[in-house]
Homo-oligomer: A and B are copies of this chain.
Amino acid sequence: MKTVIVGGVAGGMSAATRLRRLDESAEIVVFERSGYVSFANCGLPYYIGGVIEERDALLLQTPASLGARFGLDVRVGHEVLSIDRAAKTVRVRELASGTESDEAYDNLILSPGASPFVPDLPGISRALTLRNIEDTDAMSDALAAAEASGGPTSAVVLGAGFIGLEVAENLVHRGWDVTVVELADQVLAPLDPEMSALVQARLEANGVRVLLGQSATALGASDLTLTSGETLPATIVVAAIGVRPESQLAKDAGLAVSDRGGIIVDASQRTSDPSVFAVGDAVVKVDAVDDAPTANWLANPANRQGRLVADVIAGRAQAFPPVLNTAIVGVFGLQAAATGWSEKRARAAGRAIRVIHTHPADHAGYYPGAKGMSLKLVVDAATDAILGAQGVGESGVDKRIDVIATAMRGDLTASDLVDLELSYAPQFGSAKDPVNMLGMIAENLRDGLTETIQWHELEAEVARGVQLIDVRTPGEFARGAIPGAINIPVDDLRGRLDEVDADSIVHCQVGLRGYIAARLLAGHGKRARNLDGGYRTWARA
């Protein structure tokens, strides 16, 4: 049995090595267009920034090492041009010589990844992208040349997604002036705006100029013009607007491909041709929340699918589950992470949801070094199912998002988070971990013990004349308050009930005291909605 694999990185090489482990006698040929296999895509921006110092560190394996250990026939610099599904062959060009030949297969695995989307603009040809080692070398060379010339070192990064922000940070590390241009009205689209605002602030605090709601219209030799008409100096331009599944090969071969260009596969990663499999960035995945087709450009699923497809080919039944799109990015010491759906996505889908914002510390406040974070949970109002979560902070965000992603995989409800027994010593967490706390709040909302109002709903309610009570201390109130709020500290509330309307909105700094106030008022027959996430979430958004 002979398996041919197109693409020798995350998905492709995971398939190849697993297949060898499952079948010592399989014939396995891997074609990789670029000059390298098994490289650390996710490390490329950090090599650009000098955080990863050795280029070799990016190269996890070579054709030789894979040959020695796994008996793989790995051919770099070989592009697969077409698939003859009837004959079960692929047409391959050796790029150095231009020689073409046919290679037969019993099973074919496509793991061609996704290519950076480059907008069609005047002068765009000088824009750099970052996907593989060759791109990295080219970007390194361009940066080094500009630095050596003693001329300006201004970079414009188009796109404020994960890769765009990683590149921006690393260019700053290298001492460049960096502007990020983003068409949306926020950075990091998987987050909701009041969460991504923290990331934007961190970028700006580190000297990155962030321009939202704009895009490039043309590139000059050393500048770039925006839709606003503004022209930015741009020694280099990096296009990081997004990626597109590299599915032309599949399409040309008549395999089913979605409108958005993803190769369509079943849960065994089989395409519309039973001898052809596809994995990774190039394929359509299934969304864990609504079972709809979805894109996913992440390494964990690519590796997982690569391993899985080898199992299937070796006769071991396996099914790839729907994806949560759990992702994280580091931005100047901040962690920004998400899993599942955002609020905006849930609202766009018309779901009835409950939303929770908290601002906990990564570990017990009484132990030195505790760092704040902001967490957000999106909950299905009908079922209490967790739809998604987001977190931004300096430390411990990865842990909470991973715990919630695991809870989602285990079908725990939002209220079930109360009962998670998470590890606690004061330097590592809290007796009530931030995730437990999300569960408590979710349970209170589910059971109608508390009613909240979101930051974006407040203005209209206050305009309607609803009383807004700030239950923080007079000192906090003096340092900055929401327009229209009156101040009654939570500890004075029982004595000042006559000042409180029958229907009011209460708020504190993060939501905790507001909740206590709201419960207190409920106990006295008054309706009080608590501003979710408190002043902190409101002020940020």
The residues of A with any CB-CB pair to B shorter than 8 Å are 10, 21-25, 40, 42-43, 46, 51-53, 57-58, 60, 68-71, 162, 166, 298-304, 307, 316, 320-321, 323-330, 335, 337, 339, 364, 366-368, 398-399, 401-403, 405-407, 409-412, 416, 418-429, 431-433, 436, 440, 447, 449, 490-491, 494, 515-516, 519-520, 522-524
One of B324, B335, B491 near A428 (C-beta < 8 A)? B335
One of B60, B304, B401, B410 near A418 (C-beta < 8 A)? B304
One of B10, B166, B320, B406 near A407 (C-beta < 8 A)? B406
A10 & B431 in contact (Cβ 8 Å cutoff): yes
Complex interface: chain B residues within 8 A of A515 (CB): 21
Chain B proximity of A33: nearest CB distance (Å):
21
B403 & A402 in contact (Cβ 8 Å cutoff): yes
Distance A300 CA – B431 CA, assembled complex (angstroms): 5
One of B70, B298, B403, B426 near A424 (C-beta < 8 A)? B298
17 CB-based A-B contacts, threshold 8 Å: A10-B431, A22-B519, A40-B364, A46-B426, A52-B367, A53-B368, A57-B366, A327-B425, A328-B423, A328-B428, A337-B423, A402-B423, A403-B403, A406-B406, A406-B412, A407-B409, A409-B412
In the A-B complex, the 8 residue pairs with the closest CB atoms: A410-B410, A24-B523, A328-B423, A299-B431, A399-B399, A68-B491, A406-B406, A21-B519
One of B60, B399, B421 near A409 (C-beta < 8 A)? B421
Distance A431 CA – B515 CA, assembled complex (angstroms): 39
Distance A10 CA – B430 CA, assembled complex (angstroms): 12
The verdict on A52 contacting B366 (CB below 8 Å), with A403-B403, A406-B410, A523-B24 known, is yes
Nearest B residue to A51 via CB reads B368
Complex interface: chain B residues within 8 A of A46 (CB): 367, 426
Chain copies in the assembled complex = 2
One of B330, B339, B409, B418 near A425 (C-beta < 8 A)? B330
Chain B proximity of A113: nearest CB distance (Å):
14
Distance A165 CA – B40 CA, assembled complex (angstroms): 40
Complex interface: chain B residues within 8 A of A303 (CB): 431-432
One of B21, B367, B398 near A423 (C-beta < 8 A)? B398
B425 & A300 in contact (Cβ 8 Å cutoff): no
Complex interface: chain B residues within 8 A of A42 (CB): 364, 424-426, 431
One of B40, B409, B426, B428 near A366 (C-beta < 8 A)? B40
The verdict on A321 contacting B403 (CB below 8 Å), with A68-B491, A366-B43 known, is no
B423 & A405 in contact (Cβ 8 Å cutoff): yes
Nearest B residue to A340 via CB reads B421
Distance A418 CA – B316 CA, assembled complex (angstroms): 15
B421 & A51 in contact (Cβ 8 Å cutoff): no
Chain B proximity of A374: nearest CB distance (Å):
16
Please name 5 further chain A to chain B contacts, defined as beta carbons within 8 Å, in addition to the given A24-B519, A300-B422, A405-B422, sorted by A numbering: A21-B520, A398-B399, A398-B429, A403-B403, A406-B412
Distance A528 CA – B337 CA, assembled complex (angstroms): 42
Nearest B residue to A71 via CB reads B494
